[in-house]
Structure formats: structure tokens, C-alpha cells
Amino acid sequence: MNDMHFVKSIKIKNFRCFNSLTVESLSRVNLLGGYNNIGKSTFLEALEIITQSKTKVDFINIIKDIIYRRQGKNLQDNEFDMIAYDESWFELETTNNCVFLEIKSNNTISILEDEDRIDKQYNNISDTLQVELKVNDDSDKIPHSRFIDIINNDSSRYRSPRYRRDLKSSENIDFINSSTIDEIKLASLYGKVIDLGIEKEIDSFLGEFDSRLDSLVIRPTERHSVFKVKLKGKLQPVLLSSMGEGLNRYFAIICGIWKSQNGYLFIDEIENGIHYTKYEELWEIIFKISKAASCQVFATTHSRECIEAFSRVAEKCDRDNIKYINFSRTVDNPDEIVATVLESVGLEENFQLGADVR
């Protein structure tokens, strides 16, 4: 198994709620727990940024994607909110990669030296702030107003090819968020399954989730394709979306791991929509496929049952490659968040012993 690309540790500085956080001993499958608003999803974002950012272009585009995903519909008005309160920069660092972003006063840096017409145009309108973006040793400075336009995807003002994304760089990294997964997202995940020719395997996993399911079919329409499910003994397939949120999510997770082969999959609130009796099956499949696909998985949860199922299944699987990470605030300084990495096995016992490790 090729796990050389796995993130083994990460250092986070001034990123959203984390002023300074180091997490070591990360593994192939990592489940993150902790109270609400403790930074679990933020931790996923930090990992997503550092794994996506091979170049400055990747860096700025993943920032844009995350802000769009989180703030969504307020196009033109989305705010850049990734720097910790009262700070002007953030930095993320793993063994192989380091990204840095700083907002600073315009007069502290020189006017851009490159020939980019749009950069000059922005400088001419006397922007008072500039943004420095750095990926490893490669850095760039752009006017703050232009940076905001880029993260708002304002095409009327942002036409430079300089920050146009190379789609290939992010093809094996994906994020499944906590809300309902739409057909477009499912299609993007299922594409890789078709490329790999493993549709039958996916059908089999879906059958394990719900024994009434026979196979998945794609019904092309004029504008896009619709996922349908053939039920055993029934002629007409039914819409996958009509089968409930749990099945959609289960399907997205399985396909997401294959889509992220030799890469990374981030899953926010993994238990959403899935009945607790299905958690063990879900983890079994995640442990199995992530190993086969050499995909590093990071998932968040609030559910005690989900953690216990994770622990029980880890006991049977390759426990050395499965970790549980708890986030908590320190008693003496509620702004300080600390992480504790626990072995996956024995978590159920910890709950029984009265230690709420969620």
C-alpha cells in the first residue's frame, strides 16, 4: 500500500479558531470528535488547504472553494475569515508542505514586479492592503481587493489566467460536507468509479446497506444525468434521492474514497442521515476501501454510537492505521484548543468507564 502521501502531522498557526495547534500521529483513517464549535470542521479545512495547495494557484482556489462552500450563496459579499481573531496571517505546515497567507499594508511591500496587467490595474486604484500568498518557497503578493474578488469569483473583474486552476491537481482530494449531497456532487464522485470499472462493487456495497437494492443506474437527461436505483423484483428504477439521505451519504462516501484514490477524503459529520445500526457496516467499508484505494480519510462526528462502532470495527481491522482525535478547550484558557490522539480500540470502554471522549 502506498501511504507515502499521507499527512502524518500538521502544525496550524492563526487559522480560524486555532492560534497554535499541532497534531501528530495521524493515520490512514482518522475520526475527529469534540464539542460543538471546537474546530473539527476547521481542522478538516486546514488539512484540505494543505493537501490541495501544491502551487499558489491551488492555494487561492481552495480558499475560494472553502469560503464558497461555507458562506455559499452570498456571492460578491463573501468574507475572507480564515485568519484567527486579531492576527494578520496564518500558516499551515506538514512534513512535505507549508502554506502561508498574510494581509499587510500596501506600503510595506513593493509594487508587483510582474507584467500582469490586472495586478497593475488594481495597484493603480491605490489599494491600501495587499495579500501575500506563499506555498513553500514560492510567494506572491496581490492587492487585497483583487484577492477578495477572486474568492468571490467575480468574473467581471477577475479575468487573469494567472489564478486559473489546474483541475488535475485536486482530482484525488474531496470533501463531503455535513448537509445534503446533490446530484452534481454525486456525479463527480461516481465518475471515477466508472473509470475504474468497479460499478458492480458499488452495487454490492449498496446492497449491504439495504438488501432491497439491486443496482445503480444513470438516467441521462437533456441537461445532466440522474441517479436511479433498481430495486430487487421491481421493473422501474426509482430516484436515488428518493431513497433517503442515509443512502445518498453512504453512496457518496464509498464513491468519494475511490475518487480520492492515492489522495484524501474529508467527511464532515459522517453520521448525518445514517441510522446508528448501520455505523459498523459503514466503518467496515471505509476501513476496507480506504486501504485498497490508499486514501487517507478524515471524518468528524458528534455521535457516541458512531465512535463506539468505529472502535469496535477497528478492533477487528488494522487497528494501527486507525486513530481517534479529540479536540477540547483548556480549562484555564477557553481560547486554547488542544488535540489528543487516542488509539481507536478501547473507546467504547472509555465511555463505560465514565470518560466522555466525544
Partner 1 sequence: MKNILIVEGKTDKKFLESYIDYLCKTAPEKYYFLDDIDNDNDNIKDATGQDKIFSVLNAQRIFINKRETKNIGILIDADNDGIDKKIEEKINPAIQKAFGTENAIQFPNQKYPITYTENDRENTFNIFCHIFNLNGKGELEDILRKIRTNKTLQSPICLDKFVQCMGDFNIAYPEKEYKKNWVYFYGYESLKKEQLNIEEIKSKLKNNEYYTPKYWDFDNPLLNELKQFLDLFQ
Q: Within 12-51, which residues bind partner 1 (CB under 8 A)?
A: 21-24
Residue 340 in contact with partner 1, rule: CB under 8 A: yes
Site stretch for partner 1 (CB under 8 A), options 164-172, 230-238, 277-285, 329-337: 329-337
Site stretch for partner 1 (CB under 8 A), options 48-56, 185-193, 309-317, 349-357: 349-357
The DSSP element (H or E) to which 12 belongs, if any, is strand 10-15
The DSSP element (H or E) to which 138 belongs, if any, is strand 138-143
Rounded Cα distance, 16 and 4, in Å: 28
Residue 154 in contact with partner 1, rule: CB under 8 A: no
- The one-character DSSP state at 83 is B
Q: Within 234-293, which residues bind partner 1 (CB under 8 A)?
A: none
**Shortest Å, Cβ 10 to partner 1:** 10
For residue 253, give the nearest of 267, 264, 234, 241 by alpha carbon.
267
C-alpha grid cell, residue 218 = 444513470
Instruction: Please say which residue, 105 or 340, places its beta carbon nearer to partner 1.
Output: 340
CA distances from 278 to 16, 209, 260, 272, 305 (A): 34, 7, 23, 12, 10
User: How does DSSP assign 188-248, residue by residue?
Assistant: HHHHHHHHHT-HHHHHHHHHHH-TTEEEEEEEE-SSSEEEEEEETT-SS-EEGGGG-HHHH
Q: In this chain, which of 112, 217, 231, 338 binds partner 1, going by CB under 8 A?
A: 338
Residue 332 in contact with partner 1, rule: CB under 8 A: yes
Residue 187 in contact with partner 1, rule: CB under 8 A: no
C-alpha grid cell, residue 307 = 465512535
Instruction: Please say which residue, 18 or 163, places its beta carbon nearer to partner 1.
Output: 18
- Taking CB under 8 A as the rule, which mask of x and - marks residues 299-328 in contact with partner 1? ---------------------------x-x
CA-based R_g, the chain, Å:
22
**Shortest Å, Cβ 23 to partner 1:** 6
Binding site for partner 1 (CB under 8 A): 11, 21-24, 326, 328-332, 338-343, 346, 349-350, 353-355, 357
